[in-house]
């Protein structure tokens, strides 16, 4: 029951199965990152998709149907195979392991910042989310990138070829463990591409403020709030697979949940 403080049946399934994730033994398909291939609950979530997927979308179609109206999942617009290869666990640690990165707490309004070496984050903090942890106790690597230090990587990324008049693109790169994610928040429009893993998105239009606690994780919201919601009150949602790009319009509320250890990059249009 929502707000009961006790993990619901879905959360027990999520947590019990996500903890089977282990570091990959070198599978080229997952880049050496932790994957939750035996997480059957993730397969259930993947079936919940109310966001349209479009392959080979033209710029005119994008502007007419999506840019200011609703999210869309883009397929086949760019080839980031080179960037993907550089984002394997082995290559990122070799290139950036000693770099100091800035982590944020995974809550909506108050972001505490913590600095530590990238290798320490990957080897000591990049584990499945504890469903009992509050957002301000959960550290997450997303954004706050030093663009000078990460330029050798970002120069190989090809963003979606769509722009909005008067905006300038800015990258935010991140990696999150299975079950982690950022709770509901909003900002300007942008694109988010999954490089490795799977990331489930929940989205509401600007006028429909979601019911959420700003210091609880997305996993806790999925336990406490989502099950009791009427179908008409639930958000748009979908799992973004590796190689897919989600576009979200300006001021749309969104929350994310990593179904695997996920490597991703967002292009914000500010």
The structure's pTM equals 0.88
- How far, in Å, are 103, 172, 256 from residue 144 at the CA level? 8, 7, 18
**17 pLDDT higher than 50:** no
C-alpha 121/C-alpha 182 separation (Å) is 17
What pLDDT is recorded for position 41?
A: 59
Kindly indicate the confidence band of residue 27, based on its pLDDT and cuts at 50, 70 and 90.
very low
Give the mean pLDDT of 21-47.
61
pLDDT in tens, 71-99: 999 999 999 999 999 999 999 999 999 99
- The mean predicted confidence, pLDDT, of the chain is 85
Report d(CA 54, CA 61) in Å as an integer: 10
The predicted structure's pLDDT at residue 34: 72
Above 70 in pLDDT, residue 1?
no
Q: What confidence score (pLDDT) does residue 110 get?
A: 59
| More confidently predicted of 258 and 144 | 258
**What percent of the chain lies above the pLDDT cut of 90?**
63
The tokens for 252 are 């749309």
pLDDT at 59 over 70: yes
Residue 142 bridge partners (DSSP): 174
Average pLDDT over residues 103-118: 81
Extract the tokens encoding 212: 């959420």
Angle at 96 between CA 111 and CA 254, to 5 degrees: 35
Say if CB 198 and CB 46 are below 8 A apart.
yes
The token pair at 65 is 């149907």
pLDDT of residue 113: 86
Please give the domain boundaries of the chain with CATH numbers for all domains. Answer: 40-269 (2.60.120.650)
| Model confidence pLDDT, tens digit, residues 99-108 | 999 998 877 6
Average pLDDT over residues 174-203: 93
Strand partners, 257: 200
What does the pLDDT average to over 233-242?
96
Check residue 134 and report its DSSP letter.
B
15 vs 156 pLDDT, higher one: 156
Between CA 265 and CA 242 the distance in angstroms is 11
Q: Is 186 left (phi over 0), alpha (psi -120 to 50) or beta?
A: beta
């Amino acid at each position: 029951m929502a707000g009961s403080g006790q993990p619901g049946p879905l959360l027990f399934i999520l947590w019990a199965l996500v903890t089977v994730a282990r570091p990959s033994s070198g599978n080229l398909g997952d880049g050496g990152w932790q994957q939750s291939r035996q997480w059957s609950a993730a397969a259930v979530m993947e079936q919940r998709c109310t966001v349209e997927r479009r392959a080979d979308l033209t710029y005119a179609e994008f502007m007419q149907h999506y840019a200011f109206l609703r999210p869309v999942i883009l397929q086949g617009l760019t080839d980031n195979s080179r960037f993907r290869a550089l984002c394997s666990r082995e290559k990122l640690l070799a290139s950036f392991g000693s770099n100091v990165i800035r982590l944020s707490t995974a809550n909506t309004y108050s972001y505490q910042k913590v600095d530590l070496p990238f290798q320490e984050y990957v080897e000591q903090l990049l584990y499945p989310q504890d469903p009992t942890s509050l957002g301000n106790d959960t550290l997450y690597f997303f954004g706050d990138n030093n663009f000078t230090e990460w330029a050798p990587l970002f120069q190989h990324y090809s963003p979606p070829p769509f722009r909005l008049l008067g905006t300038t693109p800015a990258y935010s790169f991140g990696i999150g463990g299975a079950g982690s994610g950022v709770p509901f928040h909003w900002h300007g429009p942008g694109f988010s591409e999954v490089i490795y893993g799977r990331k489930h998105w929940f989205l509401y239009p600007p006028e429909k403020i979601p019911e959420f606690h700003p210091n609880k994780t997305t996993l806790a919201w999925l336990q406490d709030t989502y099950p009791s919601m009427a179908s008409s009150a639930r958000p748009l949602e979908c799992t973004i697979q590796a190689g897919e790009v989600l576009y979200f319009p300006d001021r749309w509320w969104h929350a994310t949940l990593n179904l695997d250890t996920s490597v991703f990059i967002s292009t914000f249009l500010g």
